[in-house]
């Protein structure tokens, strides 16, 4: 969230704890053991009073090569009696985090969703990021509204995200891959954040 994390009246705060890490462990489900050892993990946290009235959120670190992770979100952010469309995306590639955010001079060039897909295009001084997320079956989760977990959001954990990361200086694609097992949420009045 950059400098916005220090603003005391934000309705929602967001922090990324790990873009990509190794996991291990097991889960016993109906007398069957599901083993997660050598799987890939991602961790983030949200806190505050309410989720935004409209937002996209997506994440995956299941690409054709290990060590690649992407997280992107776009949201309507209440601000000083008005609002703005804020965004944050990170691509973890070759042990380096490439950031696209409202507060670092990046630009959100496209933000679009329909029943089948979400498309985001972002650009900073050095890179252009194009994301096409394919919406899949969702599960309903509880979400906060004014501090109570009374809201409901729909999240998929089986979506596919097509990612293209273009280096504007070398005129080459650093990443063109499809992430699977992606988390994807499309929530609220998305007309407020699409263009």
Query: Would you say residue 26 lies in a domain?
Result: no
Give the model's confidence band at 7: pLDDT under 50 very low, under 70 low, under 90 confident, else very high: very low
Q: Which residue has the tokens 């977990």?
A: 149
In this predicted structure, the answer to whether residue 2 has a pLDDT above a threshold of 80 is no
Neighbours of 150 (CB within 10 A): 11
* Beta carbons of 168 and 48 less than 8 angstroms apart: no
Query: Would you say residue 39 lies in a domain?
Result: no
Containing structural domain, residue 159: 47-192
Query: Would you say residue 141 lies in a domain?
Result: yes
Query: Would you say residue 177 lies in a domain?
Result: yes
Considering its fold, how many domains does the chain have in total? Answer: 1
Query: Would you say residue 8 lies in a domain?
Result: no
Three state DSSP letters for 30-64: CCEEEECCCEEEEEEEEEECCCCCEEEEEEECCCC
CA-based max dimension of the chain: 54
Mean pLDDT, rounded, of the chain: 89
Nearest one of 149, 122, 145, 5 to 58, comparing CA atoms = 122
Q: What is the pLDDT of residues 67-81, one digit of tens each?
A: 999 999 999 987 667
Q: Which residue has the tokens 């950031």?
A: 99
Q: What is the pLDDT of residues 124-183, one digit of tens each?
A: 999 999 999 999 988 877 766 667 676 677 889 999 999 999 999 999 999 999 999 999
Report the CATH number that the domain containing residue 132 is assigned in CATH.
2.40.370
Query: Would you say residue 173 lies in a domain?
Result: yes
Nearest one of 48, 55, 43 to 113, comparing CA atoms = 55
Query: Would you say residue 29 lies in a domain?
Result: no
């Amino acid at each position: 969230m950059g400098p916005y994390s220090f603003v005391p009246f934000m309705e929602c705060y967001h922090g990324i704890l790990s873009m990509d890490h190794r996991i291990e462990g097991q889960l016993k489900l109906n007398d069957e053991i599901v083993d997660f050892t050598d799987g890939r993990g991602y961790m983030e946290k949200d806190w505050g009073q309410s989720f935004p009235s409209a937002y996209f959120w997506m994440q995956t670190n299941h690409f054709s090569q290990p060590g690649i992770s992407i997280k992107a979100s776009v949201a309507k952010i209440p601000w000083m009696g008005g609002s703005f469309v804020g965004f944050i995306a990170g691509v973890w590639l070759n042990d380096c985090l490439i950031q696209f955010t409202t507060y670092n001079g990046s630009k959100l060039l496209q933000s679009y969703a329909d029943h089948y897909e979400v498309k985001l295009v972002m650009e900073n001084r050095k890179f252009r990021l194009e994301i096409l997320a394919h919406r899949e079956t969702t599960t309903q989760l509880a979400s906060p509204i004014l501090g109570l977990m009374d809201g409901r959001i729909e999240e998929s954990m089986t979506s596919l995200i097509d990612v293209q990361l273009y280096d504007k200086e070398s005129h080459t694609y650093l990443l063109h891959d499809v992430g699977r097992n992606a988390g994807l949420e499309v929530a609220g009045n998305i007309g407020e954040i699409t263009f």
